[in-house]
A and B are shown apart, each in its own frame.
Chain A
Amino acid sequence: MSAPGAPAVAAAGARQAPGATAPGARPGRRRGRGNWTAIGFLSPAALVVALLLYLPFLYTVVLSFTKYDGLSSPQWVALDNFRKFFSDPALGSSVRNTLMWVVGTTVLPVGLGLLIALLSFGIRGGSGFRLPFMLPYALSGAGLGVIWGFILQDGGAANDVLGALHLPGAHTDFLQHWPYNTISMIVAWTWQQTGVNALLFMVGLQSIPKEPLEAARLDGAGGFRLFRSITWPLLAPLTTVVVGLALVASLKTFDIVWVTTQGGPGRSSETLAVTMYRDAFVSGDYGYGSAVALVLTLTTAAVTLAYLRRQVKTREGLG
């Protein structure tokens, strides 16, 4: 459903905790021959990414300044597409929904993932307890759209369950009205992504050195206080990575919305990526769609850059 790396897969790996043994002195920046060796190691990956992802995107960048129906040759229209985009009456709701996705997915799947990791960490049969949360990721793809259709549709399984429990919402048509449609799709997404985040947090928890934890325990810290004063700060670099990746994924939210509501009814659950697809492919206005894509990409890039810059600084400060 989502690009690799986009959802919540992250850099796990080894982390030095403050006060842990220093990893040895680092050399300064490489110069001359050394730097060329490093570039040699980098270039295969960089070349593949540049040729297969950036180069095709360049085509989109050029098209965004044209009017193009896919058949006759593109006509240069300068900034017209961007002007049209910023005056689209549905832009407001598209941005609003995208923001809901950003907030929702950086809070819910990340928060629940953390909770599940903390609760199941170090207990007997922990991986058994985590299993239900891992299944959705493995099952992703075909069938899930149908299942969530069952659940969220008018009079669907969600209404059944809420009714049986005498909770409000038994008669809410979740997909028919904003904001319920966006919110319920965020819930579906949470179901899919929580497990992966939990796993990453597990990895983070396992890489926390035992000494500071033991020391704090001896000082009488426990439960929430232990978490807040020791675990949480030590987990911070990983949290930033998980949140950062969730950010990229949420800004690009497309599949789940397209499968469930196609952005409707009446464009009410559209996200920016859905707007892009709708304009480019459904309306066949590739120039305009490309302009939306460019705006979306620049926004996502700016947010990602800000986040990762921060992460790197944090790490360097620690390391």
Chain B
Amino acid sequence: MRERNAAWFVRRAVLLVLGLVWLIPVYLLLVNAARPSTSYDQSKIWTPDTHLGLFDNIRQGWDSAGLGSSLASTFLYSIASPGLAVVLGAMAGFAIAVLRVRAGFWWFMLLFGGTVVPTQMLLIPLFLGYSSTDLYDRRGGLVLIYLAVSIPLAAFVMRNFFTGVAYTIFEAARMDGASIWRVFWRVYLPLALSALWAVFILEFAFIWNDLLFGLTLSQTDTVRPVMTALSSLSSAYGGSTIPVVLASGLVMSLPTVLLFLGTQRLFARGLALGQF
């Protein structure tokens, strides 16, 4: 019994200590984002300022970067692209794992290989292609590229998810006369709902934070995603002070943080539901 107690204690102690270490950078972020814009001093980064400057900093960053005009389209990209990606990824995973397409491994590699190509090198050819197809500076164009970069992960997760689902389910449904599409849409997709959510959340976070595609493939303020505006705050030529940069970054991470925290339970539980 004593041994149990020792283990009980050690487990929590290790987690607590490591957790506190992990929170140090978060602490620095919060303390310095909350400092009034003009009272930042490198030698005092550990000490909170007595005056709360957080909201002024946010307002200042918001105004000078013009963050507001980008929000609507950023939400569109971060929701529409992963939403489509999980469906297309699930279809691909279903084809490989359940329908057992021939050369399934190579189909899988074809999709997953999308993560292997270096993103930076895609920008210019994509811009050229987008220009000649009138996708440049279109919200649809951005949804499309974000969809493409989201598919590999979605396909990977869904393939592995469906591999674990008993094949008898497929057979039973087919026996009842359901079409393959119906089996997928009505049986497999609902089964995978939580896994779909998990992929969606991770890809939401990625797209929300993307800068490169947004900068290269759009020009209008209302089409460009929010990170393109946010990044202008940290520049040698007229950039903002450190507290403003941090506070604006903080407020722009809120949607991701909220989505992430709000779904954390679902997340852990959801992925595990794939057992049959």
Task: State yes or no: do A and B come from one complex.
Answer: yes
- Cβ-defined contact, A39 with B46, below 8 A: no
- Cβ-defined contact, B168 with A129, below 8 A: no
- Cβ-defined contact, A46 with B274, below 8 A: no
- Cβ-defined contact, A42 with B115, below 8 A: no
Give Cα A45 to B240, complex, Å. Answer: 42
**B166: contacting residue among A23, A135, A140, A300, CB under 8 A:** A23
Contact-residue bracket for chain A? 35 or more
Query: Does A312 sit at the interface, judged by CB under 8 A?
Result: yes
Query: Does B234 sit at the interface, judged by CB under 8 A?
Result: yes
Q: Which of B96, B246, B268 has most A Cβ within 10 Å?
A: B268
- Cβ-defined contact, A24 with B91, below 8 A: no
Q: Taking the nearest CB of chain B, how far is it from the CB of A141, in angstroms? A: 4
Q: How many A-B residue pairs have CB under 8 A?
A: 342
**B105: contacting residue among A41, A44, A134, A309, CB under 8 A:** A309
A9-B153, A132-B20, A319-B163 are known contacts. Are A281 and B120 too (CB-CB below 8 A)?
yes
- Cβ-defined contact, A37 with B180, below 8 A: yes
Give Cα A46 to B112, complex, Å. Answer: 10
- Cβ-defined contact, B227 with A44, below 8 A: no
Q: Which of B89, B112, B150 has most A Cβ within 10 Å?
A: B112
Chain B positions within 8 Å of A48 at CB level: 88, 144, 147-148, 151
Chain B positions within 8 Å of A120 at CB level: 11, 15
Chain B positions within 8 Å of A148 at CB level: 25
**A24: contacting residue among B155, B167, B231, B257, CB under 8 A:** B167
Give Cα A116 to B12, complex, Å. Answer: 10
Query: Does B245 sit at the interface, judged by CB under 8 A?
Result: yes
The residue on B at minimum CB distance from A35 is B102
Query: Does B107 sit at the interface, judged by CB under 8 A?
Result: yes
List chain A positions with a Cβ less than 8 A from chain B. Answer: 1-6, 9-16, 21, 23-30, 34-35, 37-42, 44-46, 48-60, 112, 115-116, 119-120, 123, 127, 129, 131-148, 150-151, 157, 160-161, 191, 194, 196, 199, 202-203, 206-207, 209, 223, 241, 248, 252, 254, 273, 276-277, 280-281, 286, 289-290, 293, 296-297, 300-301, 304-305, 308-309, 312, 315, 319
